[in-house]
């Protein structure tokens, strides 16, 4: 299910009101609840496509120079297609996309480079936590 334009605007209005709350803790919790509700009402594809449009717009204006966010987004889209092909429901897809992004960030922090993705299991791969998707160990690529 995807949100209509009016529903998206309603979420934006409520989000703006919550941000104005005088207690930052309450505002933070409120924003987290709004985001969780929005995620439950939006398909993973819609979320990633909207995120991709924002990333491309940021890159077009010169923001995020030298980052790997386009590459990371393409990886998440590949994960999405992989999971959709297996007919998983949206909740499982959301969870696995979260796992995949954490695996990407952990790899990048540990090896100081973006991972190379493979769908073939071997002794030279690192598990991502998403079934059937692996990162090739940097030592195996030299």
Summarised one tens digit per residue, pLDDT across range 121-138 is: 999 999 999 999 999 999
Q: Round to whole Å and give the CA distance between 6 and 12.
A: 10
Q: Are residues 7 and 37 in the same domain?
A: yes
For residue 1, give every residue at least 6 positions away whose Cβ sits within 8 Å of its Cβ, in sequence order, or none.
41, 42, 43
Strand-pair category, 125-127 with 116-118: unpaired
Split into its structural domains, the chain has a count of: 2
Q: Are residues 65 and 125 in the same domain?
A: yes
Summarised one tens digit per residue, pLDDT across range 35-83 is: 777 777 778 888 888 888 888 888 788 776 778 888 899 999 999 999 9
Q: Are residues 122 and 67 in the same domain?
A: yes
Q: Are residues 68 and 100 in the same domain?
A: yes
Q: Are residues 12 and 56 in the same domain?
A: no
The SS3 assignment for 18 reads helix
Q: Are residues 31 and 50 in the same domain?
A: no
* pLDDT at site 68: 82
Q: Round to whole Å and give the CA distance between 5 and 11.
A: 10
* pLDDT at site 126: 95
> Structural domain of residue 21, as residue ranges?
1-42
Q: Are residues 56 and 77 in the same domain?
A: yes
* pLDDT at site 61: 82
Would you state the structure tokens that stand for residue 74, as one six-digit string?
């393409």
């Amino acid at each position: 299910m995807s949100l209509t334009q009016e529903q998206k605007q309603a979420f934006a209005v409520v989000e703006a009101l919550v941000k104005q709350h005088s207690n930052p803790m309450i505002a933070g919790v409120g924003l987290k609840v709004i985001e969780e509700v929005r995620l439950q009402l939006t398909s993973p594809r819609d979320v990633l496509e909207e995120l991709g449009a924002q990333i491309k717009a940021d890159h077009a204006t010169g923001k995020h120079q030298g980052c790997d966010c386009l590459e990371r987004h393409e990886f998440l889209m590949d994960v999405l297609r992989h999971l959709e092909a297996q007919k998983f429901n949206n909740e499982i897809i959301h969870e696995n996309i979260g796992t995949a992004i954490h695996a990407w960030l952990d790899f990048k922090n540990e090896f100081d480079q973006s991972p190379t993705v493979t769908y073939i299991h071997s002794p030279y791969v690192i598990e991502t936590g998403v079934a059937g998707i692996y990162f090739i160990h940097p030592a195996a690529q030299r």
